[in-house]
Amino acid sequence: MFDEEHSWIGVSLSEIYGAQCPWDAPQFPVIKPAYNHAVLFHVSEDGLNEINDRPPKPQTGVDKWNQDYVRMPCSSHSLYPVVEGSTTNLKKRWDIIQNALTKPMKNSQDLADTILSYNTKFKSIWKFSALHQLFNEHLEEEESQYFFSVTLPTIAKLALALPRLVQSPIPLLSTVPVGVMTFMRVTVPPKDCPKWASSNKLIGGTPLHVNSKGTIEDDGMGLLQVDFANKYLGGGVLSYGCVQEEIRFVICPELLVSMLFTEVLKPTEALLMIGCERYSSYSGYGDTFQWAGDYKDTTPYDLSGRRRCAVLAIDALPFRRLEDQYRPETIAWVGVSACTSKFEARLSYPGVATGNWGCGAFGGSPHLKSLLQIMACTEARRPIAYYTFDDIKLRNDIINIYKLLSKHNVTVGHVRNNTSPPFKANSMLALLQEAINNVQPEDWSKVVNKTERDIMSDWDRDIHIDNIMESSLIIPVTDSDDKFSDNSDVSDSAMSLDE
């Protein structure tokens, strides 16, 4: 029987943290410049960044105008065609922008005209209907006046300061906040993926906390917080999307900068974003989503001046048919996307905060996706906190599945080999119970009778990859094999920004 007075079942969050307090868990490594880590502001030699009222000093660099760098509008190479009479001349785009932004704007039409003055090719495309509707129909006259007399001039002033604030090829996010962010693209080559079908790691060895209340961003403090990402990072946040990833990017707008320099994520890639701050509260989801006021983020800073918030963006596969997600190659893909960089026998912290990954518009099965994430965390030796978003039945189902697998000492390999169609069971729990009943006793004895030393030996044979933390959820690598060190199979590519 479940205690309905409590929203969560399983182990306490302190066992997911690996400590009594979220902030007692291990921190991410301090920021240090390296050949594969571009730091865009000055840091001390020890990588520590003192938190004070002074913004970090921008790192000076050489303007670069090519496909490997963000093409800045203030670059001398940024030219724009301007029609003058019967001729078309190329002018510096920044001169046009400066001229436009220094003029007063009194209403939404002035703002639209200003934007189009240096984006003329979009005059027939950008209608700004939502912008006009906001100011003409929804805002009070006093609110509109304040925006155009105070807020917008401040934004324009900040934009015009771009050449002074951003002095290196990759842009800084902003100037006044004193925090820092790190963006790390991490990849696992297929040859380094765990052998899921033959894995002997016990599902029951992974601490599991399942809660029907709360959210990843509200209750996953100090944990690796999963972003149910689109392969084009941010999804529809700049258009009409308003589900999990878009909401996270809106309430933590510093994440938006990742869209500027992150290419489409491949099935074996993810993006780890460390240090974002939350600025807004919200209510609702999708069509009911709305802003609910200012949010005061009290998350502490780490030794490098980053908020101790780590968001892990993993692409969620879309499924046209329910049965598609049970295909072996699909399940293998999920494992690849959330595998570990170091297969250790002991648990590694922080744990993972996640939920119904890819189960909304992408059509995923919450029961299967929760099980796959538990499998991935078992391989990674990381505890998992799972939030079912008010679904009490799903909470109970997940814990029942976990208890069943734990009771019978079921391994990741056995789950992997018994979640593929065709099957007759009408639920994940029934499917797994059916699979357990069909396995010959001698087959299970090979797992159940394994000694701790045997299991430790299995894990030890897998320890061959350097890690981004003590044990990461993702294997970090670069695209170029010649960048690997002599004693490592993988590397990582990262960039740290001043906020």
> What residues form the annotated binding site?
230, 244, 285
Active site residue 246: yes
Q: In this structure, what token pair is assigned to residue 218?
A: 């509200």
Q: In this structure, what token pair is assigned to residue 282?
A: 């919200």
Give the E-state strand segments of 316-377 in sequence order. 352-354
Q: Are 343 and 194 in contact (CB under 8 A)?
A: yes
Residue with tokens 């329910």: 322
Rg (CA), the chain: 25
Active site residue 84: no
Amino acid at 235: G
Active site residue 254: no
C-alpha distances out from residue 214 to 209, 288, 387, Å: 12, 17, 7
CB atoms within 10 A of CB 260: 13
Measured distance CA(202)–CA(277) in Å, rounded: 36
Residues in the chain: 499
Q: Are 88 and 109 in contact (CB under 8 A)?
A: no
Active-site option among 192, 217, 219, 245: 245
The alpha helices in 192-311, defined as continuous H runs, are 216-219, 244-251, 258-261
CB under 8 Å to 406, separation ≥6 — which residues? 202, 203, 204
Q: For 148, which DSSP code?
A: I
Active-site option among 192, 217, 219, 227: 227
Q: In this structure, what token pair is assigned to residue 59?
A: 């790192």
Q: Are 105 and 92 in contact (CB under 8 A)?
A: no
Active-site option among 192, 217, 219, 246: 246
C-alpha distances out from residue 87 to 81, 82, 83, 100, 117, Å: 10, 8, 6, 21, 17
List Cβ<8 Å contacts ≥24 apart for 320-324.
320/363, 322/363, 322/365, 323/421
3-class DSSP assignment, residue 493 = strand
Give the E-state strand segments of 244-378 in sequence order. 269-274, 280-283, 290-294, 310-315, 352-354
Helix H or strand E encompassing 118: none
Of 434, 429, 420, nearest to 367 by C-alpha is 429
- Strands 269-274, 180-187: pairing is antiparallel
Binding residue ranges for substrate: 230, 244, 285
Q: In this structure, what token pair is assigned to residue 155?
A: 């934004």
The alpha helices in 137-275, defined as continuous H runs, are 141-146, 152-160, 162-165, 216-219, 244-251, 258-261
Of 307, 341, 302, nearest to 189 by C-alpha is 341
Longest CA–CA separation in the chain, Å: 88
> Which are the catalytic amino acids?
227, 245-246
